[in-house]
Amino acid sequence: MRWISNFPPPSKTFTERTMARDIQLIRILGEETYNKISNSKVLLVGAGGIGCELLKDLLLMGYGEIHVADLDTIDLSNLNRQFLFRQKDIKKSKANTAVAAVALFKGNTRLEPHHGNIMDVSQFPLSWFRQFDIIFNALDNLEARVYVNRMALFINKPLIESGTTGLKGQVQPIFPYLTECFECTAKETPKTFPVCTIRSTPSKPIHCITWAKNFLFTQLFGEESEDEINPADLETDDAQEIEALLKETNELLELKKLIKEDSAEEFIDSVVEKIFVEDIVRLAKIDTLWKTRQKPIPLNYELYSKKLKELPTSIISDDQKIWTTEENLFVLIDSLKRLQARYKSEGVLDFDKDDKDTLDFVVAAANLRSFIFGIETKSEFEIKQIAGNIIPAVATTNAIFAGFSSLQSLNVFSDDPVGNSRLIYDSEYINKFVTQCPPLPGNSNCKACGIQRGIITVPSLDIQLGEIHKQLLKKFGYSDDVSIVVGNNRLIYDYDFEDNLISSLKDLTIGSGSIFFVSDSDDDLQDIELYLEVAPQETDITLTDITIKKKPLKKKESKEEVTIQDDQMEEIFDEDEILLIDEPAEKRPLEIEQEETYSKRKKSTI
């Protein structure tokens, strides 16, 4: 790695360089902040595009201890932007490699890599999270983001959330129970299309790609579904269309049975004949569908088959070319041969954009369908981006937003962390790349930060559920009419289902790190989420409220009152749960431009 200009040249010793850097940091940050930062321990989750940048930034800011967690190993495709990794590192752990790569300029910072899934409670229990002063998210998926958000709420520590998509990016500082959390606003889910558009009346390339990937590929090579097809799932009232689609699907299931038995020729002929000829003939006969649309024209299989012999096999590797109809047919037949052979030996297959056999099939099938329906066709390169939901990552965007993430963390050490922090995001205005606004207060209806939160500590998993139930009623004042759900949706207790009370947690396969969700069926008290910890040194069950400044367990408000309460900030100042309600906090004024952009931003998923 080359030395960066502002720092002393590498001829100086490690200690000299570190000292010189610390002097510069003290000049920039002031001694007090510098000391606080160098005594802080932080967690960086994700060592990918943003994570590599952020690790470098946090180190150069002089953080005392940085832990880096990532579950993945390095791929060739990471090297263009994850600058801490080199060709020789491919297949190695991202967390370990990133930490090793920054050793040269790590100064006095203590670094600890963790190769593992941050959601794995045995490797990363809540007690492990508690050691950190700040958590930085540099993740690429909602599930892990939501999980870390919950952990930050459980330990009541700031979380600096960041994400980028192409040229867009966002940094959201989250101060639990004081500002919006990651789950306060709904995140956009992937776009879906009506079934009838995909199955009967496609009009865009994406419809044909979705059909080839999610329907045709899965039906032929995916897991067999036990369920009967439900006509209601076809999302159409047209009796003729329903009949055609049911017939189509049943025939496909029959075809699937032949994959293992038939020779390649027989199998391929049957697939092409059925999918691109017979099914289309049947659809074309349903006049109601084509009153305002162009009728599909079945593939002239015989005609195109004759032309296939003249084609060079090299066409398969030309992913930039928009293939002709016969070229698509050629690739379809070739990929069907490859997939049939694999299915015979490996069994069920999954679509993967980086698996050439599956990609070739999806591209050729989508393009042939497009051709039949008079829709433009696309190159394999383009379809790979669409089918793999790929928006190319931009190294500069990652660097910019990682920079903002690290800068936002400075506010944690200021006199007014919430007041000083800013949500930073890309601007939609030509003369501005990024813009900012103050974080908003949490949404009182948020299912993550709008509810009460606690920790159940038990000496062992031999404790009966009944013991926990008893403590819950005693500590929080619930009536007996509560329901207790564990994990995603497993009901383990309610008023009419008391069987489990005499079972131990172990027998109920409830382990350390399980999350209990308790709701009051009488609707009198707030819901509560409890994290289960096993502490063998304890002798009894304890239930702890988590936050110092927390939303108190209180009577649910009626609908109208809840609306008013949106703007209220409630605080509780001591363990005796004395409730002080402030005057409704005024929304901080936002520039109109910011407010508009922010409201749009809140809908996007990054």
Ligand X SMILES: Nc1ncnc2c1ncn2[C@@H]1O[C@H](COP(=O)(O)OP(=O)(O)OP(=O)(O)O)[C@@H](O)[C@H]1O
Binding-site residue positions for Zn(2+): 181, 184, 446, 449
Q: Which of 101, 57, 94, 95 is nearest to 77 (CA)?
A: 94
Q: Which of 425, 435, 259, 433 is nearest to 349 (CA)?
A: 259
CA 436 to CA 425: how far, in whole Å?
Answer: 6
CA pseudo-torsion sign 530, 535, 540, 546: negative
208 is catalytic: no
Shortest reach from residue 155's CB to ligand X, in Å: 17
Q: Does residue 144 interact with ligand X by CB under 6 A? A: yes
Structure tokens at 126: 């809540």
What residue 184 binds from ligand X, Zn ion, none (CB within 5 to 8 A, per partner kind)?
A: Zn ion
The count of residues in the chain is: 606
Feature table: binding site for ATP: 46-51, 70, 78-81, 94, 140-145
For residue 534, give every residue at least 6 positions away whose Cβ sits within 8 Å of its Cβ, in sequence order, or none: 457, 458, 459, 460, 461, 512
Mark residues 387-416: x for contact with ligand X by CB under 6 A, - for none: ------x-----------------------
Q: Which residue is nearest to Zn ion (CB)?
A: 446
Q: Are 322 and 377 in contact (CB under 8 A)?
A: yes
Q: Which of residues 448-477 bind Zn ion (CB under 5 A)?
A: 448-449
What residue 202 binds from Zn ion, ligand X, none (CB within 5 to 8 A, per partner kind)?
A: none
For residue 15, give every residue at least 6 positions away whose Cβ sits within 8 Å of its Cβ, in sequence order, or none: none
CA 147 to CA 171: how far, in whole Å?
Answer: 17
The residue among 132 and 267 lying less far from ligand X, judged by its C-beta, is: 132
Q: Are 271 and 262 in contact (CB under 8 A)?
A: no
Q: Are 277 and 289 in contact (CB under 8 A)?
A: no
Q: Which residue is nearest to ligand X (CB)?
A: 48
Q: Checking phi first, is residue 188 left (phi over 0); if not, alpha (psi -120 to 50) or beta?
A: beta
What residue 117 binds from ligand X, Zn ion, none (CB within 5 to 8 A, per partner kind)?
A: ligand X
Q: Does residue 70 interact with ligand X by CB under 6 A? A: yes
The residue among 158 and 442 lying less far from Zn ion, judged by its C-beta, is: 442
CA 140 to CA 81: how far, in whole Å?
Answer: 15
- Total chain residues near ligand X (CB under 6 A): 21
Q: Does residue 446 interact with Zn ion by CB under 5 A? A: yes
Q: Which of residues 10-69 bind ligand X (CB under 6 A)?
A: 45-49, 51, 69
CA 97 to CA 47: how far, in whole Å?
Answer: 9
Using CB under 6 A, pick the residue from 22, 72, 318, 319 that binds ligand X. 72
Shortest reach from residue 185's CB to Zn ion, in Å: 8
Shortest reach from residue 97's CB to ligand X, in Å: 11
Rounded to 5 degrees, what are φ and ψ at 424? -120, 135
Contact region for Zn ion (CB under 5 A) — 75-83, 174-182, 284-292, 566-574? 174-182
The residue among 354 and 462 lying less far from ligand X, judged by its C-beta, is: 354
Q: Which of residues 75-134 bind ligand X (CB under 6 A)?
A: 77-78, 94, 117-119
Using CB under 6 A, pick the residue from 141, 263, 294, 300 that binds ligand X. 141
Shortest reach from residue 442's CB to Zn ion, in Å: 5
Catalytic entry in 52, 196, 208, 437: 196
How distant, in Å, are the alpha carbons of 162, 385, 392, 532 from that of 462? 41, 51, 51, 13
Q: By CB under 6 A, name the binding residues for ligand X.
A: 45-49, 51, 69-72, 77-78, 94, 117-119, 139-141, 144, 393
- Which parts of this chain interact with Zn ion (CB under 5 A)? 181, 183-184, 442, 446, 448-449
Catalytic residues: 196
